[in-house]
Amino acid sequence: MIASENCSAKSPADIRIEILTADHLPAVMAIERASFRDPWTMTSFRDLMIQMRTNWTAFADECVAGYLITQWVLDEIHILNIAVSGNYHRRGIASGLMRFLQDSGRERNMQAIFLEVRVSNEAAIAFYKQFGFSVLSTRKKYYQDGENALVMCNHLTERAGKNADGETSCSV
Ligand SMILES: CC(C)(COP(=O)(O)OP(=O)(O)OC[C@H]1O[C@@H](n2cnc3c(N)ncnc32)[C@H](O)[C@@H]1OP(=O)(O)O)[C@@H](O)C(=O)NCCC(=O)NCCS
């Protein structure tokens, strides 16, 4: 396994997805620190890994290229964290992780995926919309620095996406 800062991608990456393990954490933490102004700590990752096995690492060219942290509660999936190394942006890494999550969720009869995203994070919002997410609501001052979050959701089944009038909607 090679740390992401020593990797570069020249063409669309073939990705391999594995359950996130402690071995991946140093490379994951490097991506986390480079990606967010309020990065998670190593302890946060370790705590979530102990609680759940719904966290995955994406490898490209044997390098840790990105990761996805989720929580599955009843029939809902919550994306808690997703990031891709800058060396691999726009190479389909996050898309591979999202397709994997959507397929896994449908296989296990999950109804919807939810997440929060900073209103200023245009790249992530564009990415989520590409995968069928829509805006459900705004959470005021959700982040420590006072920025608002958009709550976005993606229905995994036809049934979950219909309201009482049979229209497609994003409210549950
Ligand atoms: C958002 C993020 C995870 C996307 O990862 P990625 O691997 O680069 O995304 P993909 O290559 O799979 O992109 C798929 C599509 O999403 C959209 N997209 C991704 N990045 C985008 C950007 N910077 N601007 C506009 N659209 C973007 C595009 O439609 C893209 O398809 P295209 O490249 O064919 O145009 C990545 O930018 C990242 O790690 N950002 C920092 C961490 C972060 O903000 N995480 C989200 C927290 S809520």
Two tokens, residue 85: 């190394």
Phi and psi of 142, rounded to 5°?
-70, -35
**Ligand 1, atom 28, residue with closest C-alpha:** 127
For the entire predicted model, the pTM comes to 0.92
Told to judge if 128 belongs to the known catalytic residues of this protein, a careful annotator would answer yes
Alpha carbon separation from 109 to 5, 37, 52, 129 (Å, rounded): 37, 35, 18, 22
Q: What is the pLDDT of residues 98-115, one digit of tens each?
A: 999 999 999 999 999 999
Query: Rg of the Cα trace of the chain?
Result: 16
Told to judge if 116 belongs to the known catalytic residues of this protein, a careful annotator would answer yes
Ligand 1 pocket member 9 (CB < 6 A): no
Ligand 1 pocket member 91 (CB < 6 A): yes
Ligand 1 pocket member 33 (CB < 6 A): no
Phi and psi of 46, rounded to 5°?
-60, -45
- Across the range 15-19, mean pLDDT stands at 95
CA quadruple 121, 123, 124, 127: dihedral positive or negative?
Answer: positive
pLDDT > 90: what percent of the chain?
77
